[in-house]
Amino acid sequence: MGKPRTAIRNWAEYLALRTVASAMHCFDLRQNLGTADAVGSFYFRANPKRAARAERNLTLSFPDWPDDQIRSVAERSFQYMFRLFMVDAFVTPRLVTPATWQRYVRLGRVEPVLDRLVTGQPSIFISGHCGNWELLGFTLAVLGFPFPAVARPLDNPLINRWLMASRQARGLRILTKFGVMKELPELLKHNTSIGFVADQNAGDQGLFVPFFGRLASSYKSIGLLAIRYDVPIVAGVAHRISDDFEFRLDCTDVITPDDWTDQPDPLFYVTARYNLAMENMVRTHPDQYLWLHRRWKSRPKHEREGKPFPKRLRRKLEELPWMTQPELDRIVALSSDASHQEVGVR
């Protein structure tokens, strides 16, 4: 449990963050990115438990990597995290405008995204905690295609209001996760697209599907909305492509109703496939993923109870068109080995 929230604590954190943000305006972008890298490396070395979690996640996700590569990518992911929070979050509204966005953002394979937006056809847009997920929605809003995005409010209400105002400066609307499911169906009914950061741990009651060779709890709501309202799921990412503020937007998959109609279990198929799309985003730039993120925290019931791998779940995995026998064997092996279940700091 964290420390209880008080007004004094909230104001202290808020004023400290505003002071840091103001101070960074005194230096150029590259200097600030270098400072963020230094802070990230310091945080990595000063927090061995969190560093160990990131390294463990990488080791299980890339079992063929040597130890030095694991540690290097883990540290760079911490640096990248601080680049996002110390620099990108503050400069995005100033740099990415209708007149200047082309200096900083390259459009890669985005035709499926723009086609849907231009024609006014609703979609469910998803990304993960990789690249710059904030920039992804912000850029689409700058291009004239704002849509609501679901986000968890920050614990500090003062910081939350400040950052929300920054996010919504170009028309991007943020919906808080709590109670939002009552509002999303109405948006889709009125041809409004919605966005999710979709790699959150969904708890013990989530739908467990593969993510980097391990079962990961995923929200059912994304697939249920897509199936219920017959709308595609579009997976996109904004990867940093230089040591400056330069990004490339790409669409990594489009999951349409035709794809899931004939599947034995449409919800399982859709949920597994959008997780595969996010996995492919991460594989392109693994150092731009938050490996500190507790993606595999919750475990399926058979693991919690120490029971054998369920035959029904094995059959569902075998029915996935992209599943291979070696990958299936690895998922079953890791699920059956309690030593791979996540432990450590919260």
Average pLDDT, the chain: 88
* pLDDT more than 90, % of the chain: 62
- Between these two residues, 344 and 237, which has the higher pLDDT value? 237
Token pair, residue 237, equals 């990412």
pLDDT at site 345:
40
Q: Cβ distance 63 to 297 under 8 Å?
A: no
- Between these two residues, 133 and 247, which has the higher pLDDT value? 247
Token pair, residue 225, equals 């909305």
DSSP symbols for 54-118: HHHHHHHH-TTS-HHHHHHHHHHHHHHHHHIIIIIHHHHHHH--TTTGGGTEEE-S-HHHHHHHH
Q: Structure pTM?
A: 0.89
φ and ψ at 193, to 5 degrees?
Answer: -75, 160
Which residues does residue 218 pair with via DSSP β-bridges, in sequence order? 207
Q: Classify residue 262 by its DSSP letter.
A: T
Indicate if the pLDDT at residue 175 is higher than 50. yes
pLDDT tens digits along 82-127: 999 889 988 888 899 999 999 999 999 888 888 888 888 889 999 9
User: If DSSP codes are grouped into helix, strand and coil, which group holds residue 247?
Assistant: strand
CA proximity to 127, closest of 157, 150, 97, 95: 150
The residues near 335 (Cβ < 8 Å, ≥ 6 apart) are: 214, 215, 300, 302, 303, 309
- Between these two residues, 90 and 274, which has the higher pLDDT value? 274
The residues near 98 (Cβ < 8 Å, ≥ 6 apart) are: 142, 143, 144
pLDDT tens digits along 139-150: 888 888 877 777
pLDDT tens digits along 311-344: 999 999 999 999 999 999 999 999 987 655 664 4
pLDDT tens digits along 285-314: 999 999 998 999 999 999 999 999 999 999
Write out the H or E segment, with its range, that includes residue 196: strand 194-197
User: If DSSP codes are grouped into helix, strand and coil, which group holds residue 231?
Assistant: coil
pLDDT at site 93:
86
| Residue 158: CA count within 13 A, CB half-sphere | 14
Residue 27 pLDDT level (bands cut at 50, 70, 90): confident
Token pair, residue 87, equals 């620099």
pLDDT tens digits along 66-88: 999 999 999 999 999 999 988 99
